[in-house]
Structure 1
Amino acid sequence: MSNVNQVLKVFGLRPSVITRPPESFGSEVYDVILEGGERVIVKIPYNKGKLAREQRVLARLQGALPVPVVLDVWEGDEEITGALLLSAIPGKSITGPVDASMAYQMGQMLARLHEIPAPGFGHDTMNGFEHVEGNRWFRFVEDSFSSWGIDCQTVLDYDLYRKCCSYFEQAISSMPEPSKASMIHMDFRPGNLLAEGNRLTGVIDFESARGGAVELDFVKIQSYVWDVYPATKRAFMDGYRSVSTVSDLETCLPFYTFFNAFGGVSWCKRRGIVANQAFLKENVDTLRAVMHSSNKVV
């Protein structure tokens, strides 16, 4: 708690109660009730890039989606990367079962996000929006895969790693170019959605958001909602289509599922294999499943 106490002093705030919300795995997040009774959120991002990205994305989304307001920003010091002071949205992260009604609302919320145009394919920085080279979405995909491969080849067994590389080279050539750059969340899952009762109240955690292809945002909904509660897929898609359209989902989803899992293995390597064994296994199992379904049995 030492970091959050130091950050609160910087912001000139006196806490009464400090708790850690569930479903927070990357940056440090604290739910704080101040002495006067006001509730705020303190977020200490993993690095300064994530701090800048979340700050700018939240500013862009104000009035379009129920997202936190940035109340204050601290640029950090030699020990702490910096911090965001955010308004608290009513509701709690979704950790229990998802029914058709909630799935429908989730679909609508994701579509509302995707209806927001991005400046291009790329991400926000403190110096403005940084486009991918040539403003090409698949340049980002290729560069990410290459960067992640450095980590993955030290974690995956050689046969699985080799087959992953072969699958990527073949599959990416058949992926359709996205028609436009939309705002995508990159971690759209129940843990980053807030609800009161059976009413969806907000979306949080935009530190990885960027301008990209909307199909990538369906990966975690498939893993954490549709695969767990199969009856919710139709309701989710009905909600999504009530706001927007997605044409290449069935074609693209297997590839982006693979892409996300490969990135997940890299994340575990960088954040600590021992501390993230369960998440590592989840991603390796996904890679094996995709290889199997593509007739590249591991």
Structure 2
Amino acid sequence: MSAGQRMHPGMHPIDEDLVRRLVAGQFPQWAGQAVERFPSGGTVNAMYRLGDGMVVRLPLVEGGAGDVALEQEWLPRLAPLLPTAVPEVLGAGRPAEGYPWPWSVHRWLPGVNPEAGAPGEPLLLAADLARFVTAMRGVALPGAPRAHRGGPLALLDASTRAAIGELRGIPEEDVDCDAVAAVWEDALRVPGPDGPPVWVHADLMPGNLLVDGGRLTAVIDFGCVGAGDPACDLFPAWNLLPGGAREAFREALGVDDATWIRGRARALSQALIALPYYRATNPAMAGTARHVIRAVLGEG
């Protein structure tokens, strides 16, 4: 992303000096730790390594500020109920030094993001992801917030159709807009969930997963977490897993046809919206979006 291409309007400037001042002013016990920007394909937060064992996570835009409070409230409660490591909040930062929003210090979680379509151990990773999703669905904590994007599929209709229209004007992306529109319209005719909302992560993108030796070691970024359609956590079937592992993931979760179709449509909607928005500013997000569109159309 060049200096003239900002990922979002209203982004607050963040650099290592600001992070050092914020940490020194609010967490003096960590004031001597090295601070280094951590390159990330994330879209809502900037990340800075703090020493060897911590990471500072700061919203880039006002819309991410609510996610900080959400994670600080729910991560400690969810962590003991899940089979995979999740971020541990070590410090809750406040606005200061001209920075306007809350921020967090987390314990550093080792691992790397898996490669979309070519994870090192696809069948094992599919099984790991299914265990995580099953555990999320089984969470019984009361007072769950509403998951971001977790409502009826029809709520995404206007934004999805607008994105398809925008992609028709970008021929170099070579998206079969008639085909993706048909997939979307078919999904809108599918029944909604036949049970109550369940806990979902709601943003299981490759950039929010950490692996080591091909196995899932951590799930990060719980800013969309809450209760919603169980189809919301099927995203890895199309944004990460190749065909055989995709089917193994579905089988392990026991997903019925209607839920599978809704999950595919949700993944497609996210990709269609992301591609025109991020194509010039976030190569990782745009690349994942292209992969999802190919995977969905290839499956159909």
Rounded to whole Å, the distance in 2 between the matches of 1:30 and 1:86 is: 10
1:32-111 equivalences under 5 Å are 32-33=50-51, 39-46=53-60, 47-65=64-82, 66-76=85-95, 79-89=99-109, 91-95=110-114, 97-111=120-134
Q: Residues of 2 paired with 1:207 and 1:273: CA distance?
A: 23
Name 2:22's counterpart in structure 1.
Answer: 7
Q: TM-score, normalised by structure 2?
A: 0.70
Query: Retained in 2: the 8 A contact 1:93–1:190?
Result: no
Alignment of 1:77-226 (within 5 A): 79-89=99-109, 91-95=110-114, 97-117=120-140, 119=143, 122-123=146-147, 137-138=151-152, 141-150=153-162, 152-157=164-169, 168-197=184-213, 200-226=216-242
Q: CA deviation at 1:43?
A: 0.9
Q: 1:283 aligned to 262, 278, 289, which one? A: 289
For 2:283 and 2:88, the matched residues in 1 are separated by 34
Task: Name the TM-score, length of structure 1 as normaliser.
Answer: 0.70
Q: Which amino acid aligns with 2:280?
A: V
Identity across aligned pairs (percent)? 18
Q: Which residue number in structure 1 is paired with residue 5 of structure 2?
A: none
TM-superposition CA deviations, 1:19-72 (whole Å, max 9, x none): 516554542122321xxx6x1121112421222332233133131123222222
CA contact (8 A) 2:197 2:229 kept: yes
SS in 2 for 1:97: coil
Cα offset, 1:206, TM superposition: 0.8
AA of the residue aligned to 1:82? P
Letter in 2 for 1:63: P
Hey, what's the Cα distance between the residues in 2 that align with 1:234 and 1:23? Answer: 27
CA RMSD of the aligned region, Å?
3.7
User: What count of residue pairs does the alignment treat as equivalent?
Assistant: 267
Alignment match, 1:253: 260
Give the AA of the match of 1:83: W
Give the letter for the 2:81 counterpart.
A
In structure 2, list runs of 5 or more residues that go unmatched: 1-14
Give structure 1 stretches of 5+ with no counterpart: 125-131
Which structure has more strand as a fraction of its residues?
1
Specify the alignment match of 1:128 in structure 2. none
Contact 1:265 1:280 in 2 (8 A): no
Cα distance in structure 2, aligned partners of 1:208 and 1:188: 10
**In structure 1, what is the Cα distance between the partners aligned to 2:68 and 2:286?**
25
Residues 198 and 153 from structure 1, CA distance in 2 versus in 1: closer, same or farther, beyond 3 angstroms?
A: closer
Task: Describe the SS at the equivalent of 2:57.
Answer: strand
